[in-house]
Amino acid sequence: MEVTVTLRQPHLNQQRILDEAKRFNHIKCGRRFGKTEMSIELAVNELLLGHRVAYFSPTYKDSYEWWKQIKHTCEFIIKSKDEKVLQLLTVTGGLLDVWSMEDPDSGRGRKYHRAIMDECEKASKFKQSWLGTIRATLTDYKGDAWFLSTPKFGKTFFKELALYKDKFPNWQGWTFTTFDNPHIDPEEIEDARRTMDNLYFRCEFLAEDVDLTGRPFAYAFDPIKHVRECHYTDTEELHISFDFNVDPITAIASQYVDGEIRVLKEFRLQNSDIYELCDQIVAWKPEALFIITGDATGHNRAALAQGNINYYSVIKQKLSLADGQMRQPSANPAVKDSRVLVNSLLQNHALIIDPSCIHLIEDLKYVEVKEDTNDIDKTKDKHRSHLLDTFRYLLNTFHKDLIHLKIFEEPTIEYYPVIE
DSSP state at residue 11: P
Radius of gyration of the chain measured on its C-alpha atoms: 25
Q: CA-CA distance, 35 to 358, in Å (whole number)?
A: 44
Neighbours of 169 (CB within 10 A): 8
Sheet holding 238-243, edge to edge: 290-294, 238-243, 249-257, 260-269, 350-353
Q: Please tell me the distance from the alpha carbon of residue 127 to that of residue 144, in angstroms, as a whole number.
A: 17
Task: Residue 44: name the closest of 61, 22, 69 by CA.
Answer: 69
* Rounded alpha-carbon distances, angstroms, from residue 56 to 16, 100, 122, 197: 23, 5, 12, 30
Pair 276, 267: CB distance under 8 Å? no
DSSP β-bridge partners for residue 87: 82, 97
Residues 6+ away with beta carbon under 8 Å from 172: 20, 21, 22, 24, 25, 26, 165
CA distance 416 to 420: 13
Asked whether the beta carbons of 265 and 354 are under 8 A apart, the reply is yes
Residue 410's pLDDT is 43
Bridging pattern class, strands 260-269 and 350-353: parallel
Kindly report the CA angle at 197 between 354 and 409, in degrees rounded to 5? 120
> Rounded to whole angstroms, how far apart are CA atoms 385 and 128?
31
φ, ψ at 269 (rounded to 5°): -115, 130
Residues present in the chain in total: 420
Domain residue spans in the chain? 10-207, 223-402
- DSSP H or E segment with residue 39: helix 35-48
* pLDDT value of position 301: 55
Euclidean distance between CA atoms 96 and 120, whole angstroms: 19
Instruction: Report yes or no: 23 and 170 within 8 Å, Cβ to Cβ.
Output: yes
pLDDT of residue 33: 92
CA nearest to 121, candidates 212, 203, 229: 203
CB 223, CB 206: distance < 8 Å: no
- How far is the C-alpha of 179 from the C-alpha of 288, rounded, in Å? 47
Q: How far is CA 159 from CA 31, 39, 204, 269, in A?
A: 16, 19, 14, 44
Alpha helix (H) ranges present in 49-84?
Answer: 60-73
Q: Is 90 helix (H, G, I), strand (E, B) or coil?
A: strand
Q: What is the CATH number of domain 223-402?
A: 3.30.420.280
Contacts of 249 (CB under 8 A, 6+ apart): 242, 243, 268, 269, 272, 273, 274, 277
For domain 10-207, give the CATH number.
3.40.50.300
Task: Say whether 223-402 and 10-207 share the same fold.
Answer: no
Cβ atoms of residues 356 and 232 within 8 Å? no
Per-residue pLDDT of the chain (420 residues; tens, 9 = 90+): 566 676 778 899 999 999 999 999 999 999 999 998 899 999 999 999 999 999 999 999 999 999 999 999 988 899 999 999 999 999 999 999 999 999 999 999 999 999 999 999 999 899 999 999 999 999 999 999 999 999 987 788 999 999 999 999 999 999 999 999 999 999 988 888 887 788 888 888 999 888 777 788 999 999 999 999 999 999 999 999 999 987 899 999 999 999 999 999 999 999 889 999 999 999 999 999 999 999 998 887 555 656 668 899 999 999 999 999 999 999 998 888 888 899 989 988 889 999 999 999 999 999 988 766 667 877 776 778 899 999 999 999 999 888 765 444 443 333 333 333
Cα–Cα distance for residue pair 346/392, rounded to 1 Å: 12
Amino acid letter, 136: A
Q: What is the pTM of this model?
A: 0.70
